[in-house]
């Protein structure tokens, strides 16, 4: 019974944290997919891993270190803009290097394999009250930031040349959006880990865009799918003793495949 599950404080925090993060990931991810920048989310998660482990090494908050590193990297990506295009090899090397530094910092900090697993694959069942409060504040900041730039962001995403002609700075919009993405990534890592950020930030939005062309409905559907996958994943993990991140990721893939099938039948 759901009431029995919610009798545990750690399960209450798990549902609350995953719901908060999924709402942010689905909403921000919708624009990320729309702009064709899904690789950026993966890149930022690797950089954030190095930031989290580096912060832990010097006695600071891992979440704080992740936020600082991801925002800095996001701003850098936004400033580079189109210069990142066609540089998959260079970006891939940077990602591998960031992951390597993260593992080095983690090894210097502690030999506890559980910490590496939590950072790489997430551990929503271990969210503390302090982390939950931090996630709520970050979520509010992320969604407010996205709301403030949503109109020029949509204009710049769908018609960049016309947006420039109308006086919209697509470069500035891109920089601000990547900062918002960085905050969303830092939160998503707490739930699904560095290696599985795509599960929440790309899967639900991509499925939503296959199912509807309307902006408002698409954003709402993306957020709803992300929350549903996160909560159902926790329930499946609770009853099966499987890793929560695996359950969420499997549901994300399943929903996307169903969306592809439905879109194919309609087409």
The 10s digit of each residue's pLDDT in 3-30 is 778 888 999 999 999 999 999 999 999 9
The 10s digit of each residue's pLDDT in 41-89 is 777 887 888 888 888 778 777 778 888 888 888 887 777 665 555 455 5
What pLDDT score was predicted for residue 91?
Answer: 64
Which domains can be identified in the chain, with CATH numbers?
Answer: 2-260 (1.10.3470.10)
What pLDDT score was predicted for residue 11?
Answer: 92
The pLDDT confidence band at residue 116, using thresholds 50, 70 and 90, is low
Q: How far is CA 13 from CA 18, 234, 249, in A?
A: 8, 11, 20
What pLDDT score was predicted for residue 80?
Answer: 67
The 10s digit of each residue's pLDDT in 38-52 is 877 777 887 888 888
What pLDDT score was predicted for residue 115?
Answer: 58
The pLDDT confidence band at residue 108, using thresholds 50, 70 and 90, is confident
What pLDDT score was predicted for residue 1?
Answer: 62
The 10s digit of each residue's pLDDT in 128-153 is 898 899 899 999 999 999 999 999 99
Show contacts of 126-134: CB within 8 Å, 24+ apart.
126/10, 127/10, 127/13, 127/14, 127/17, 127/190, 128/13, 129/13, 131/17, 131/63, 131/190, 132/13, 132/16, 132/17, 132/20, 134/63
Q: How far is CA 83 from CA 79, 80, 116, 120, 239, in A?
A: 9, 5, 33, 29, 47
pTM for this prediction = 0.86
- As a residue count, the chain comes to 267
């Amino acid at each position: 019974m759901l009431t029995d599950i919610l009798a545990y404080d750690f399960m209450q925090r798990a549902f609350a944290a995953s719901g908060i993060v999924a709402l942010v990931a689905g909403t921000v991810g919708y624009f990320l997919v729309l702009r064709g920048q899904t690789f950026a989310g993966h890149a930022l998660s690797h950089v954030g891993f190095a930031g989290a482990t580096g912060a832990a090494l010097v006695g600071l908050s891992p979440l704080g270190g992740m936020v600082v590193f991801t925002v800095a990297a996001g701003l850098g990506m936004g400033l580079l803009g189109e210069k990142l295009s066609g540089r998959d090899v260079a970006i891939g090397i940077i990602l591998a290097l960031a992951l390597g530094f993260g593992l080095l910092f983690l090894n210097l900090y502690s030999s506890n394999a559980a910490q590496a697993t939590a950072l790489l694959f997430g551990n929503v069942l271990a969210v503390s009250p302090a982390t939950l409060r931090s996630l709520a504040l970050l979520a509010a900041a992320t969604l407010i930031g996205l709301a403030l730039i949503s109109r020029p962001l949509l204009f710049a995403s769908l018609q960049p040349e016309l947006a420039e002609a109308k006086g919209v700075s697509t470069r500035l919009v891109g920089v601000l959006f990547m900062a918002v993405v960085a905050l969303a990534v830092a939160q998503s890592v707490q739930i699904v880990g560095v290696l599985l950020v795509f599960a929440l930030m790309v899967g639900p939005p991509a499925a939503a865009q296959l199912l509807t062309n309307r902006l408002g409905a698409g954003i709402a559907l993306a957020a709803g799918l992300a929350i549903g996958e996160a909560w159902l994943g926790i329930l499946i993990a609770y009853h099966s003793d499987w890793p929560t991140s695996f359950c969420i990721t499997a549901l994300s893939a399943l929903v996307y495949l169903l969306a592809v099938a439905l879109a194919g039948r309609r087409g």
